[in-house]
């Protein structure tokens, strides 16, 4: 566990941290597997959360077999996800309050995600949050995805701050490892995957939700 101090900036993951998208992705992936006459065990899906596209394709092929039509499966997954998320994914608890606090403190913030820029724009627009982040780093903006530190390093670069001054908020083990490797102070807010001992060793703390993060930052004032 590392010490917590007032950050110079905050870097957010998106899926499962800002928006309740992971439950929708799980349902969509399982629907896609059923459409392909397969089963996607929950343990396999959970291993994908927060991972890079390249790594996740390898994990899926390891499960389904090397001859599996991964491109068709991913397209089917995307189609089912669009149906599940038609009304927009729910906002996670504490997001609005945390952004209000960061505004009051004058703290810059970024999103560092494995998802696409289009997914970020769609989710932010669904909740009127467009313009509430100073930078967005998404798939295609970095050479290596999480658990490599590249997305977080790129976010710090776009914010114009040193990575070591940043607080990173993550819900997944892959994301926690990436943020810690970037040298950021990490707070894990678990979603579908609970924190394990290895995650806790990399984090300043594990928070129940973003309301707890509000209290953590406010307590530094």
Q: Do 73 and 59 touch, CB atoms closer than 8 A?
A: no
Distance CA 112, CA 119 (A): 12
Pairing of strands 166-170, 135-137: unpaired
Across 46-180, where does the E strand assignment appear? 108-112, 135-137, 166-170
Distance CA 109, CA 18 (A): 13
Which residues are identified as catalytic?
A: 13, 15
| Residues contacting residue 218 through CB under 8 Å, at least 6 positions apart | 101
Query: In the chain, count of helices (H) and strands (E)?
Result: 10, 6
Distance CA 137, CA 116 (A): 9
């Amino acid at each position: 566990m590392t010490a917590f101090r007032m950050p110079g900036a905050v870097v957010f993951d998106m899926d499962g941290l800002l928006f309740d998208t992971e439950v929708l992705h799980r349902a969509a992936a399982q629907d896609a597997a059923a459409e392909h006459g397969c089963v996607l065990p929950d343990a396999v899906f959970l291993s994908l959360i927060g991972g890079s596209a390249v790594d996740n394709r390898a994990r899926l092929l390891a499960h389904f077999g090397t001859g599996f039509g991964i491109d068709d499966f991913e397209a089917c997954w995307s189609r089912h996800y669009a149906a599940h998320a038609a009304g927009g994914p729910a906002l996670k608890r504490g997001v609005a309050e945390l952004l209000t606090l960061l505004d009051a403190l004058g703290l810059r913030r970024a999103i560092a995600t494995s998802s696409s820029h289009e997914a970020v724009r769609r989710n932010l627009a669904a909740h009127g949050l467009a313009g509430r982040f100073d930078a967005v780093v998404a798939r295609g903006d970095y050479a290596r995805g999480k658990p490599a530190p590249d997305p977080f390093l790129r976010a710090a670069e776009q914010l114009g701050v040193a990575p070591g001054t940043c607080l990173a908020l993550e819900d997944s083990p892959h994301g926690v490892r990436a943020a810690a490797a970037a040298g950021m102070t990490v707070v894990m807010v678990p979603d579908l995957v609970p924190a394990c001992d290895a995650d806790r060793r990399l984090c300043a703390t594990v928070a129940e939700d973003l309301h707890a993060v509000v209290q953590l930052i406010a307590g530094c004032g």
